[in-house]
Amino acid sequence: MGVKECSRCDAIMCDRLLFGYHYLCDECWSELHEAKEMLPEQTTEGKVVEFLRSFLKTTKGTYGTKEDRDEVFQRVLEENSR
Binding site for Zn ion (CB under 5 A): 6, 8-9, 11, 25, 28
Indicate the pairing of strand 16-18 with strand 22-24: antiparallel
3 Cα distance to chain centroid:
22
Answer yes or no: are the C-beta atoms of 21 and 2 closer than 8 Å: no
Residue 28 vs 35, nearer CB to Zn ion: 28
Q: How far apart are CA 7 and CA 4, in angstroms?
A: 9
Give least dist CB 23 to Zn ion, A. 8
Give least dist CB 6 to Zn ion, A. 3
Residue 9 vs 18, nearer CB to Zn ion: 9
Residue 57 vs 82, nearer CB to Zn ion: 57
